[in-house]
Chain A
Amino acid sequence: AQKVTQAQTEISVVEKEDVTLDCVYETRDTTYYLFWYKQPPSGELVFLIRRNSFDEQNEISGRYSWNFQKSTSSFNFTITASQVVDSAVYFCALRNLSGYSTLTFGKGTMLLVSP
């Protein structure tokens, strides 16, 4: 069985603050993929990043960065200098390569960035 835990239900920050969204996962598989999706108020899930279990290099994309640590089964997401447009629900998800590779999602973290 696999599980994704996003312990932070809701986070509120003021614009320009840095914010980290936590994600902890459980899986018995040695090969898997981790994802982050953003769901703005419009409702459509937007793909942000995919990482495979063999690649623990951290990744930076503009104001976004991701910290993958296999030792702690975590895949945290940091937004630097947050902006109002970052306000959304963010989902972390896990997909094994066994079985039918469906996504297991965390319950999401709602990020509210105020001006």
Chain B
Amino acid sequence: GAGVSQSPSNKVTEKGKDVELRCDPISGHTALYWYRQSLGQGLEFLIYFQGNSAPDKSGLPSDRFSAERTGGSVSTLTIQRTQQEDSAVYLCASSLARQTYEQYFGPGTRLTVT
């Protein structure tokens, strides 16, 4: 079946602009996660959704970052007033439920802020 998809695959933006990154989880997966992979920083957790609610936003690095999920499916990560340090690969993952199930990752969106 279809895996997790993300769009765009690559995004180049100028410093100060807003960007939106999209994630389509695997159908039927109720849990959705956003991670950021920066050079030398490994993978950092950003936010977790269970259904449409985000009980854990502890990883969002600043108030310029926000995310929403609608219909228990598609999620959008928005970064406002982008900075160069926001350049990274943003990965989305989904799982059947939050507790015991493995997370399946999408291919990521490579964001470059110039």
Of residues A35, A37, A46, which shows the largest number of chain B Cβ atoms within 10 Å of its Cβ?
A37
B-binding residues in A (CB < 8 A):
33, 35, 37, 42-47, 50, 52, 91, 93, 97, 99-108
Are A100 and B55 in contact, CB atoms less than 8 angstroms apart? yes
Interface string of B38-79 (1 = CB under 8 A from A): 001111010010100001100100000000000000000000
Is the pair B33, A107 in contact by a Cβ cutoff of 8 Å? no
- Whole-angstrom distance from the CB of B97 to the nearest CB of chain A? 9
- By Cβ-Cβ distance, the 8 closest A-B pairs, closest first, are A45-B105, A107-B42, A100-B56, A105-B43, A44-B107, A102-B45, A101-B98, A47-B102
Q: In the assembled complex, how far is the CB of residue A50 from the closest CB belonging to chain B, in whole angstroms?
A: 5
A106–B41 Cα distance when bound, in Å, is 9
Residues from chain B with Cβ under 8 Å of A33 in the complex? 100
Candidates A42, A101, A104, A108; contact of B107 at CB < 8 Å: A42
> Looking at chain A's contact residues, is the secondary structure mostly helix, strand, loop, or mixed?
loop
Contact A35–B45 (Cβ < 8 Å): no
- A104-B106 Cα distance, complex, nearest whole Å: 17
Q: Could you tell me the distance between the alpha carbons of A37 and B34 in the complex, rounded to whole angstroms?
A: 16
Q: Which of B40, B98, B102, B105 contacts A50 (CB 8 A)?
A: B102
Q: Which of B35, B48, B89 contacts A43 (CB 8 A)?
A: B89
A33 to B45, CA, bound (A): 16
A44 touches B48 (CB 8 A): no
Do residues A47 and B42 form an inter-chain contact, with CB atoms below 8 A? no
With A45-B91, A47-B102 known as contacts, the answer to whether A103 contacts B45 (CB < 8 A) is yes
Q: Give me 8 other A-B pairs in contact (C-beta within 8 A), A33-B100, A102-B56 excluded.
A: A43-B89, A47-B102, A100-B48, A101-B98, A102-B45, A103-B35, A103-B43, A104-B45
